[in-house]
Structure 1
Amino acid sequence: MNSLDELLHPITPDRFLADYYGRKPLHIPAEAGTSRAALTDWTEFNALLSQTPNWTPETLKLVMNGAGIPPEFYCEDTDGPAGKRLRPAPAKVEVFLSSGASLVANDIQGLTPKLRALSEGLGHAFSGKVGANAYLSFGGMRAFTTHFDLHEVFAVQVEGEKRWRLYENRAENPVGFPVPDKELIGWFERTRGRPMVEVHMRPGDVLYVPRGWYHDAMAQPGASLHVTFSVTPLHGGALFGLLETLALEDPAFRAWLEPAEADAGEALARQLADLGGKLTALAQDPRLASAVAIAQQKLIDRPPAYGLPHRKPLTGYRRTTVPPPPFTGPVAVAMQWAFGQPDFAIEDLRAQFTFVATEAIDAAVETALKAGALTRA
C-alpha cells in the first residue's frame, strides 16, 4: 500500500477530494482481501520497540488519562557517544502499560518499508509533510481527551478495535490553539459541542478526520494498535516569508516607512498603498509560484534507496560557452546550480536537489545537452 488510491479504496481519490477532503470525516470499513491491516502487526511493532537505542522521550511517550507521564519515570540515563541521554527502559514501560497507560510511538514513518511507502505516497498526493505515529491502548483506556488536530488525520486500525467519537463542532483551518497548553483540556471540552457520530474501528478500517474536527477515541476490550498519518500541506501564511524574499529585491520595500504622526499619516498611507500595489503584482509573479512549488516539494520525504554493495557510476557533464536554455519551476534552481559549476555529475545534482523530481532533472540536463550548453565530461 503506497498511494492514496490504495489507502482509500473503494473510495476514489477524486471523490475523496471533491466530497470529503477538508470538509467532513470519512470512515472506510475494511474489505475482504484488504492490505491495510498489514501495515504493521504486533510482531513488527514489538521488534521496533525493542530497538531501545533508537527511542527517546520525544519519540516514545506514555500517556494516562490525557496527561503525559514524565520521562524520568519510564526512562533511564544511558551512556553514548554524545554523553548521557535519557532512553525509555522497556521494563519500566511495561509496568506503566500494565497500570493502564497508553503508548505513543512518534515519527515512525521511516521505520519500515510499508510505512515509508505510504508516507511518501501521501506526501506526493497532498504536497505536504507527512508524519506517522502508532498508538497502543488497552480496553476502556483513553490516551487523549477530546481535541482537534492542526493537520489532516488518516487513522489506520491494524490490531484490535477502537471507538472514535466525533463531535459536531469544528475549528476553521486552525494553525494554533487560542489558549495556553495548561488550559487546553477544559477549553476543548467547552467548545466541542455535542457528539455527532461514533465510529467503531476494526483491523483494516481507515478513518479520515479533517483538520480542526473535535474527536476522541477509546480502545475496546483487549489491546488496540492503530497508526495515524498526519498530513500538513503549506497554508497561506507561508506566502509572507516567500514574498519577503522577492519584495526586498525592490528598493521601495527597503526604504524607511514614513512617520505615522507626520502629515496626519497621509504620507504613510500613500506609501502603504504603493507597497500594497507592488505586493499585488508580486503575487502574480511566476517566481512566487515557483517558490511555492519548491517549498511544497521540500516537505515531501523521499525514502532512502541504498543498493549496496553496488556502487552507482557517476555521469559527468561540463558546461560549454553556449548559454543555457531557459528553465522554469523547481528544476530551474537545480540547473542554476549546475551551470554554476565547471563540471558536475548528474548523480550529485540529484543529491543536491532531492526536492526536484529525478525525471525533471534528467529531462533538463538532456535539454541542455541537445542545446549544446553541456557536454559529457
Structure 2
Amino acid sequence: MSSTSTDFQDPGAVKGGGVLETRLIDIGQEKFASDVWGRTALLTRGVSDFSDVFSAGAVDELVSRRGLRTPFLRVAKGGSTLPESSYTSPAGVGATISDQLDDTALWRKFADGATLVLQALHRTWEPVSSFSSQLSTELGHPVQANAYITPPQNRGFDDHYDIHDVFVLQIEGTKRWIIHEPVHVDPLRSQPWTDRRSAVEEAAQGTAYIDTVLEPGDVLYLPRGWLHAAQAQGKVSIHLTLGIHTWTRHALAEHLAQAALAALCDDPGMRRSLPLGVAGPEEEIAAVRERLAAAVLEADTTSLFHRARRGQGRPAPLGPVAQLAAIDGLRPESLVRLREALEARFDGSRLTTRVGWLDFPEEDLPSVRRLLEGGDYLAADIGLELAERLLRAGVLVPVTQ
C-alpha cells in the first residue's frame, strides 16, 4: 500500500452485500447507482424486517426513560411544528434542566393527533447508529436518522421537499405516501421548499408520480427535491427516515473557491488597496478575475475536502471506562481492532482521523497500515508500545469477547 495523500482506508467499507443491497433495495447496487441514485424515486416492497433496528418499544423508551432534551424531539400537527414549551419541562430534583421531554405532555399531544419526530437517532439509539454508519460508509455520504410516529388517520407535515436524499423504512403500521416530481431539481441546502411554497402547493394538486401505502418492511427512496406528504392509516405508523446529505459539485466548488481565496491572501497585489477616486471596480475586475482563475487552477482542495468530510460524522462510540481497563490490562494476547468510522487517512507518515492525527516512525507504518485493513489483532503482533499509544489516542479499541 502506498503512503501518498490519496490513501484512504475504512474497514467498515463493504465491497458487496452491505446494508444497501441486502436491506434497502432489491435491484443491485450497480443498477441503483446508474439508474436511480439522485435521479428518481424507487419503491421496494418487503425488502427487510427492520425490527432489529427500531420499534415501538424503542420509541417508548427514548421518550420516557432516556432523559432526552430538545432538539432530539419535535412535535408536529396539521402541517405545523408545535412550540417546544408545550411538551418539555424540568425533570425534578437533580435534573432541573427546563427542556427535557415531558412524557405526559407528549402523550396528550400524541393522543390528540400529533406526530412525534425523534431526531438524530444515529446519536441516541445504537442499532440505528450502527445501521446509519454502515450505510454512510457504503454511499460515501453522511447519513442522519429521524423517526416519525404518527397516530391513526393523521399527518404531521404538508407537501414539501427535502434538501437531502432519503430512504424511508416503514417499521410498524401503514402510511399512505403521495409523491410528486420536483419543482426544483437537486436543491442545495440553501434552497428549502419554503422558498418555492406556491410552486410546491400547485404541483401537489397534480397527478402523483407514486400514490401508495407503505407496509412494514417496505422502503421508499426519494432524491432531494421530490415532493411528498404522508398520512397514517388505521394504526399508529412508525417509519425511519435515513437522510443522505449528499456531497455536490457545488460543495466542491465552494472548497475550490475557499482554497483559492486563502492562497490570494499571500498575493501582495491582491491585498493592495484600490486607487483613490475609483468610481467603480470595473477597471480592476479583469485583473482580479485573471488572478482568481489562476488560483483556482492551482488550488489543492484534497485536505480541505477530507477535513470537511471528517467533520460531518462521528467515529464509533468509545467507552472511557472500558478503554482505560484495556490499557491497564494490555497483554500480548489482548485483542484490539481499529475503531470504526474514523475516516482514517495516511498523508505520508501521518495518520489523520476523526479523533486527530498521529505521526509514526518508519518502522511502525506496516503495522498501522495493516490495522487499517480491518479485523482483530493480537497486541503482540502490533507491538505493545504501539498498541497502547493507539488505544490512548482512541484509534484502537478493545475487542470484547
Please classify the TM superposition score into its range, dividing by the shorter chain length: 0.7 to 0.9
How has the CA–CA distance of structure 1 residues 330 and 258 changed in structure 2, closer, same or farther, with 3 Å as cutoff?
Answer: farther
Report sequence identity in percent: 20
Instruction: Provide the residue aligned with 1:298 in structure 2.
Output: 311
* Matched letter for residue 156 of structure 1: L
Aligned partners of 2:178 and 2:220: how far apart in 1?
11
Number of the residue aligned with 2:86: 73
Query: What is the correspondence of 1:302-313 to structure 2 with a 5 Å cutoff?
Result: 302-306=315-319, 309=322, 311-313=325-327
How much is the aligned-residue C-alpha RMSD, in angstroms?
A: 3.6
- The runs of at least 4 consecutive aligned structure 1 residues that moved more than 6 Å come to none
Which of 104, 112, 115 is equivalent to 2:117? 104
Counting only pairs closer than 5 Å after superposition, residues 136-285 of structure 1 correspond to structure 2 as: 136-176=149-189, 186=198, 188-192=200-204, 194=206, 195-235=208-248, 236-237=250-251, 239-241=253-255, 243-250=257-264, 251-252=266-267, 254-256=270-272, 258=274, 262=278, 267-282=283-298, 285=299
Total equivalences in the alignment: 334
| SS of 1:50 mapped into structure 2 | helix
Note the C-alpha offset of 1:74: 1.9
Structural mapping, 1:366-377, within 5 Å: none
Counterparts of 1:110-149 in structure 2, within 5 Å, are 110-149=123-162
Could you say if the C-alpha distance between residues 10 and 156 of structure 1 is closer, same or farther in structure 2, counting changes exceeding 3 Å?
Answer: same
Displacement after TM superposition at 1:142 (Å): 0.8
Indicate conservation of the 8 Å contact 1:123/1:301, yes or no: no
Partner of residue 53 from structure 2, selected from 34, 39, 45: 39
User: Is 1:26 matched up with 2:30?
Assistant: no
The CA deviation string for residues 125-154 of structure 1, in whole angstroms up to 9 with x for no partner, is: 233221111101122211100000000111
| Other structure's SS at 1:276 match | helix
2:379 corresponds to 1:362:
no
Q: Distance in 2 between matches of 1:175 and 1:361?
A: 42
Cα offsets for 1:298-334 (capped at 9, x unmatched): 323322144954633499xxxxxxxxxxxxx942288
Contact 2:163–2:191 under 8 Å retained in 1: no
- 1:318 counterpart residue number: none
| Cα deviation, residue 78, structure 1 | 3.5
User: Which aligned pairs between 1:341-356 and structure 2 lie closer than 5 A?
Assistant: 351-353=355-357
How many Å separate the matches in 1 of 2:347 and 2:140? Answer: 19
| SS across alignment from 2:38 | coil
Judge conservation of contact 1:134–1:228 (CA < 8 Å) in 2.
yes
Partner SS state of residue 237, structure 2: strand
* TM, length-normalised to structure 1: 0.76
Query: For the Cα contact (< 8 Å) 1:136–1:223, is it kept in 2?
Result: yes
Matched-pair contact (CA < 8 Å) for 1:2–1:117: no
1:335 aligned to which of 336, 344, 350: 350
Partner letter of residue 51 of structure 1? R
The AA in structure 2 aligned to 1:89 is D
Looking at structure 1, the residues matched to 239 and 312 of structure 2 have their Cα atoms a distance apart, in angstroms, of 24
